[in-house]
Chains A and B, each alone.
Chain A
Amino acid sequence: MFKIKILIIAGIITCAAFPQSNDTTYSLSTEVGLGYSRFFTTMDYDDLSKNGFSGTLRVMWNPEHLLSIGLETGYQYIYSIDVSNYSTEFGTTDFSASMYTIPVFICFEMKVAPNVKLTAGTGMYLLYNSGNLFGEALESSQISIGAHIGVAYAYPINNSISLGGELLYSYFSKLQDQTVAIQFLFIYDFLKW
């Protein structure tokens, strides 16, 4: 239900899109987002920590249209758990496990209001697992397809730099779970022509 609401709101905002004010300039920009992520899962573990760091790095090509396209990578904390004296059929042990992801995405952005844009991306999430159980390391990685959608506000400080924030919803098909991240956003147009 939450996913549907996000998408409906995004759709309504998009319907109200207005023309780009400066339609003669092409630019390449880099966007850095740093913030906090919350993992939403149906897994039921009391000690599961679901809050952590989220960071995104995008390089976007901004043509004279409303729609921009680019590539995205970054880092997102998914979860961690640390349990002492974990009781199992093999005996009692300390147990830890954690997961983070690095996205490799193609990303789209569309300006929908002054300083406001919608973000959507899809591609691969590289999921990395680590931890320890019975004194043996848990180490593995996996690829998941996924997608994210978000809304960003960026206020131009000068001709090349904008500062703002972004709310980002991400979905991991492999896990069938999601995260919501809120990030500080730094945008720098490093090349214009």
Chain B
Amino acid sequence: MKTKILIFASLLLIYSCNNEVDITNPVVDPSNFLSQTTPLPTTSKVIMEGVYTVTKGNELLGDQVVVKWTRDRLSIFSGKNGGYIVLDGGSLDSVVFFMGYWRYSTNLETGVASFYVPSGEGGKEIISGDSSFSTIKFVGEYGEGNELANNPLVLEFKRQFSQVVKQNTFHILAHRGGGRNSDYLGVSENSIAMLNIAERFGTTGVEIDARLTKDGVPFLYHDSDINLRLCQKSLIWGNIEDFTWAQISTLITLRNGEKIPSLREALEYILEETNINAVWLDTKDVDVVPSSIEIQQEILDRAITMGRDLKIAIGLPADDVYEEFIAQPGYQDIPSLCELSLDKVREANSLIWAPRWTLGIQTSDVQQMHAEGRLAFTWTLDDANYIEEYINQGEFDGILTNFPTIVSYYHYIKQ
């Protein structure tokens, strides 16, 4: 009996740490059909956005969805399993075509999806940018996995986004640059590749994690050590901050093969290549505070020059980081995000107060922050029921989440 237990324990130990899941979103090659189409102008994109009724394909998407352009893709967010569709699109004659993939963010299901908007069902109006359309109908199909799309999917325009949604800036903040490795997004957390696709999930802001190399270069990385949750196998292991930037860059690749980005590379990418307008810089180490501030100021200056609306806030998650921050000259003029008490928010003159979501909606405190000209974000909220509750009953200005598609859905359907 003892031996059996021993063998069982050995098997358990050996195999329990290796539960890799391989999920790959279907790749729709736009070079075939979509290459014959013409990209839509901004005026066309704007009029398509809104809340749509699902008249066919409810088993995939539920009863209604949100249709929203996110930089270069059309994204569709549903209330079922955090479902979303990411599409490339363009027009040909008076018809608008879309091809892409769907995915449930809360499980591993994915598949191909394609749509067209017929000429007489809104296609003509979309192409001409005519907002006086009577209807927009997406007619399409979806498939499971890599199977060809063969299940009908029809979406009909229901209404535009409400005035509440249009008039208020709500920050949909994606954790670790867009999502975690465990979310199987196909790119690594805290990578440039993740920042590139983050907006497709409805993200308007990102939280990224900053650490400092041995030779003083701030870089993006969540954990303190080199490990297989974040990285591919490499020849160096141990505390990642024991290595220089050149050593890390040369020897370590992230889980999906990307390079670890420096903080400067990441912020420059956000500034120059995305429409992301809020960056929550989660300082994982006290030592990274001064150099992060230096880069933050430089990027913010460039944003002003470019006329770009961009907030970059130094995260103050713990007392030691807070103490280091308020030891910096002119700290009250440095945009920061404080997760600590309201008194410390005021002392640091933080731009944003960010309590954890488990502390509740805290409407009174949020209103106090608003009265003082500050924003209030809550973190890290992933449960769909609570997301709905916090959006409809709370007054937070943003939610940090691993599932921005769910936050997007509940935010954009808000009346």
Residues on A lying within 8 angstroms of B by beta carbon are 3, 7, 10-11, 14, 17, 41-43, 45, 48, 67, 79, 81, 88-90, 97, 99, 108, 110, 118, 120, 122, 127, 129, 131, 133-134, 136, 138-142, 145, 147, 149, 171, 173-177
Cβ of B237 under 8 Å from chain A = yes
> How far is A81 from B243 in the complex, measured between Cα atoms in Å?
18
In the complex, what residues of A have CB within 8 A of residue B225's CB?
Answer: 142
Min C-beta distance of A15 to chain B, whole Å? 8
> How far is A110 from B4 in the complex, measured between Cα atoms in Å?
12
18 contacts between A and B (CB under 8 A): A7-B7, A17-B3, A41-B233, A42-B233, A88-B250, A89-B250, A97-B235, A99-B237, A108-B6, A118-B3, A131-B235, A131-B236, A136-B246, A139-B242, A141-B238, A174-B228, A175-B237, A176-B18
| Contact residue among A14, A67, A90, A99 (Cβ-Cβ distance under 8 Å from B7) | A14
Cβ of B166 under 8 Å from chain A = no
Whether the Cβ atoms of A147 and B3 lie closer than 8 Å is: no
Whether the Cβ atoms of A97 and B244 lie closer than 8 Å is: no
Whether the Cβ atoms of A140 and B239 lie closer than 8 Å is: yes
A90-B250 contact given A14-B3, A138-B243, CB 8 Å threshold: yes
Min C-beta distance of A4 to chain B, whole Å? 8
Whether the Cβ atoms of B237 and A129 lie closer than 8 Å is: yes
| Contact residue among B238, B246, B249 (Cβ-Cβ distance under 8 Å from A129) | B238
> How far is A177 from B238 in the complex, measured between Cα atoms in Å?
16
Min C-beta distance of A101 to chain B, whole Å? 11
Question: Which of B9-17, B86-94, B297-305, B356-364 interfaces with chain A?
Answer: B9-17
In the complex, what residues of B have CB within 8 A of residue A139's CB?
Answer: 242
In the complex, what residues of B have CB within 8 A of residue A133's CB?
Answer: 246-247, 250-251
In the complex, what residues of A have CB within 8 A of residue B226's CB?
Answer: 142
* Residue of A81, A108, A176 contacting most chain B CB atoms (<10 Å): A176
Min C-beta distance of B260 to chain A, whole Å? 13
Whether the Cβ atoms of B247 and A176 lie closer than 8 Å is: no
Q: Mark B61-96, 1 if CB is under 8 A from A, else 0.
A: 000000000000000000000000000000000000
> How far is A79 from B234 in the complex, measured between Cα atoms in Å?
12
Min C-beta distance of B234 to chain A, whole Å? 8
In the complex, what residues of B have CB within 8 A of residue A138's CB?
Answer: 236, 243, 247
Whether the Cβ atoms of A90 and B228 lie closer than 8 Å is: no
| Contact residue among A11, A134, A175 (Cβ-Cβ distance under 8 Å from B244) | A134
- Interface secondary structure of A, over-half rule: strand
> How far is A90 from B366 in the complex, measured between Cα atoms in Å?
48
> How far is A122 from B13 in the complex, measured between Cα atoms in Å?
9
Other A-B pairs beyond A90-B250, A122-B9, A176-B17, 12, CB < 8 Å: A7-B7, A7-B11, A14-B3, A41-B233, A42-B233, A88-B250, A129-B237, A133-B250, A140-B237, A140-B239, A175-B228, A175-B237
Q: Kindly count the residue-residue contacts between A and B in the assembled complex, taking CB atoms under 8 Å apart.
A: 99
| Contact residue among B10, B215, B235, B244 (Cβ-Cβ distance under 8 Å from A120) | B10
Q: Mark B231-270, 1 if CB is under 8 A from A, else 0.
A: 0011111110011101101110000000000000000000
> How far is A138 from B252 in the complex, measured between Cα atoms in Å?
13
Q: Which residue of B lies closest to A178 (CB)?
A: B14
Cβ of B277 under 8 Å from chain A = no
10 cross-chain pairs, A with B, having the tightest CB-CB distances, nearest first: A140-B238, A97-B235, A14-B3, A142-B238, A173-B17, A140-B242, A90-B246, A88-B250, A43-B233, A147-B13
In the complex, what residues of B have CB within 8 A of residue A149's CB?
Answer: 10
Min C-beta distance of A80 to chain B, whole Å? 9
Whether the Cβ atoms of A174 and B227 lie closer than 8 Å is: yes
> How far is A108 from B4 in the complex, measured between Cα atoms in Å?
13
Q: Which residue of A lies closest to B245 (CB)?
A: A90
Q: Mark B1-32, 1 if CB is under 8 A from A, else 0.
A: 01110110111011001100000000000000
Min C-beta distance of B391 to chain A, whole Å? 41
Whether the Cβ atoms of A120 and B14 lie closer than 8 Å is: no
Whether the Cβ atoms of A3 and B14 lie closer than 8 Å is: yes
Min C-beta distance of B8 to chain A, whole Å? 10
| Contact residue among B7, B214, B215, B243 (Cβ-Cβ distance under 8 Å from A10) | B7
> How far is A108 from B5 in the complex, measured between Cα atoms in Å?
12
Whether the Cβ atoms of A177 and B235 lie closer than 8 Å is: no
Q: Which residue of A lies closest to B18 (CB)?
A: A176
> How far is A129 from B226 in the complex, measured between Cα atoms in Å?
12
> How far is A110 from B250 in the complex, measured between Cα atoms in Å?
46
| Contact residue among A97, A134, A147 (Cβ-Cβ distance under 8 Å from B236) | A97
> How far is A127 from B235 in the complex, measured between Cα atoms in Å?
12
In the complex, what residues of A have CB within 8 A of residue B228's CB?
Answer: 174-176
Min C-beta distance of B342 to chain A, whole Å? 40
> How far is A120 from B215 in the complex, measured between Cα atoms in Å?
43
Whether the Cβ atoms of A145 and B3 lie closer than 8 Å is: no
In the complex, what residues of A have CB within 8 A of residue B251's CB?
Answer: 97, 133
> How far is A13 from B83 in the complex, measured between Cα atoms in Å?
52
> How far is A7 from B9 in the complex, measured between Cα atoms in Å?
11
Q: Which residue of B lies closest to A99 (CB)?
A: B237
Min C-beta distance of B287 to chain A, whole Å? 17
Whether the Cβ atoms of B233 and A176 lie closer than 8 Å is: yes
> How far is A89 from B13 in the complex, measured between Cα atoms in Å?
39
> How far is A147 from B13 in the complex, measured between Cα atoms in Å?
7
> How far is A110 from B5 in the complex, measured between Cα atoms in Å?
13
In the complex, what residues of A have CB within 8 A of residue B4's CB?
Answer: 11
